[in-house]
Chains A and B, each alone.
Chain A
Amino acid sequence: METVAVSDMGLALANIILLTILFVVGIAIARLRSLFAIVMLSGVYSLVSATWFVMLDAVDVAFTEAAVGAGLSTALLLGGMLLTSRTAKAEKPFARLAPFIVVLATGAILIYASVDLPALGDPDSPVNTGVGREYLERHYGEMGFPNVVTSILASYRGFDTLGETAVVFTAGLAVALLLGFGERSLAESIRKGGRK
């Protein structure tokens, strides 16, 4: 029993530290004006949240957050930043008062609602008693491999994943159509470089 209590303490401590880092990074992002620093800090934010997802035993989600949030979107935001502006416009002193009140109210509602949530890993929670338990019990006999996330995503929910792949493809297609593709969309120096 004592080791369980100690590990719970450790988990709680790590949770507090990670969430404090997230909070500080969030405040810093809101206060900074340099877009380069903001993009870098949002990458940090994604990486810290990925670590936090690992603590919640959501390894697949953490993996995706680290790859997409810290890796890809940082690079894409940098690319977008280079096309537009490097600094955000300065704001009037009280321009952010109304959004701040909205954020505070939403946060208070969420905290109030979270009191009724089942505990993390509670076997009697709705997530673990319905279709989730069914997947866990049936998937190994039907699939023959251990990762239940893959069998849900690829097989039981294959239609959803097909739709998601189509969404990603559509996003790429839309960006290519909006920003243009082919020789004419490239910068002058790159066009010359490509012909060498």
Chain B
Amino acid sequence: MNPDHHVILRVVAKTLIPLITLYAFYVQFHGDYSPGGGFQAGVIFAVGIILYALIFGVSSALRLIPPSFTRGLAAAGVLLYAGVGIWALFGGGNYLEYGALLDEPEGGHHGQHIGIILIELGVLFGVAGSMLTIFYAFAGRVAEISDEDW
């Protein structure tokens, strides 16, 4: 592709993509206090990478985040979520009962906080990994797109 092509798009995207990724993590870790959570954060993160792939080419995105990594990330997310439930079982509670994660006195909130942060991370990994896997499956099959194709 002609490197001088779409120069404004590239410059704007270069400043926007780090902000989009940062915003994904803001949504993730601020989910207790404001709208959003793991699902939205995962989608926003995936959209940031997809924007990178659309503007700088799929092959550079594949070098940045290989498809084997996205598949593993998705699986790790679901396992992390399910693992928190098993941790609660070992703590003497029911499956996914966050109150039993830590040995804390009645009325403590730390177990809930840690449980929710961990499962939201699981959702983030699961959603971001799955969405990128789907995107790579589609986009990896198309060679470079010339302008006439649109």
Q: A-side interface residues toward B, CB under 8 Å?
A: 36, 59-60, 62-64, 67-68, 71-72, 75-76, 78-80, 82-83, 86, 142-147, 149-151, 153-155, 158-159, 161-162, 164-166, 168-169, 171-173, 175-176, 178-182, 185-190, 193-194
Asked if B100 is at the interface (CB within 8 A of a chain A CB), the reply is no
Q: Report the nearest A residue to B54, measured CB to CB.
A: A75
Contacting pair B31 A165 (CB below 8 A): no
DSSP class of B's interface residues: helix, strand, loop or mixed? Answer: helix
13 A-B pairs, CB-CB below 8 angstroms?
Answer: A76-B134, A80-B138, A144-B112, A154-B120, A155-B115, A161-B81, A165-B126, A168-B74, A168-B127, A175-B134, A175-B137, A186-B140, A194-B59
Once the chains bind, are B143 and A187 in contact (CB under 8 Å)?
yes
**Pick the contact of B149 from A75, A82, A154 — CB < 8 Å?**
A82
- B interface, CB within 8 angstroms of A: 27, 31-37, 39-40, 43-44, 46-47, 50-51, 54, 57-60, 62-63, 67, 71, 74-75, 77-78, 81-82, 85, 95-96, 98, 109, 112-113, 115-116, 119-120, 122-123, 126-127, 129-131, 133-145, 149-150
Residue of B nearest to A145 (CB): B32
Alpha-carbon separation in the docked complex, A75 to B50 (Å): 7
- Select B113's contact among A145, A164, A182, beta carbons within 8 Å: A145
Closest A residue by C-beta to B145: A82
Find the A residue at minimum CB distance from B120.
Answer: A154
Please give, as numbers and ranges, the residues of chain A lying within 8 Å of B74 by CB-CB distance: 168-169, 172-173
Residue of B nearest to A166 (CB): B78
- A172 and B62: CB pair below 8 A? no
Complex alpha-carbon distance, A82 and B53, angstroms: 15
CB within 8 Å for A181 and B137 given contacts A155-B98, A159-B96: yes
Whether the Cβ atoms of B142 and A187 lie closer than 8 Å is yes
Judge whether A175 and B133 touch: CB under 8 Å: yes
B94 to chain A, nearest CB (A): 10
Asked if residues B138 and A79 are in contact (CB atoms below 8 Å), the reply is yes
With known contacts A169-B77, A172-B74, A193-B59, A155–B50 Cβ distance under 8 A: no
State how many angstroms separate the Cβ of B135 from the closest Cβ of chain A.
Answer: 6
Contact A154 B75 (CB under 8 A): no
User: Secondary structure of the A side of the interface?
Assistant: helix
In the complex, A151 Cα to B33 Cα: how many Å? 10
- For B141, give its contact among A68, A86, A172, A187 (CB under 8 Å): A187
Contact B78 A169 (CB under 8 A): yes
Q: A53 to B141, alpha carbons, bound, how many Å?
A: 36
A72-B141 contact given A63-B40, A147-B32, CB 8 Å threshold: no
Asked whether A76 lies within 8 Å of B140 as measured between CB atoms, the reply is no
Contact in complex: A172, B133 (CB < 8 Å): yes
Contact call B75/A169, Cβ cutoff below 8 A: yes
Distance of A135 from chain B, by nearest CB (Å): 14
The docked-state distance in angstroms from the alpha carbon of A80 to that of B46 is 17
Q: Are B141 and A185 in contact (CB under 8 A)?
A: yes
A159 to B34 Cα, complex, angstroms:
22
User: In the bound complex, do residue A194 and residue B63 qualify as a contact, i.e. CB atoms below 8 Å apart?
Assistant: yes
The 6 closest A-B pairs by CB, nearest first: A172-B130, A193-B59, A144-B109, A79-B138, A145-B32, A179-B137
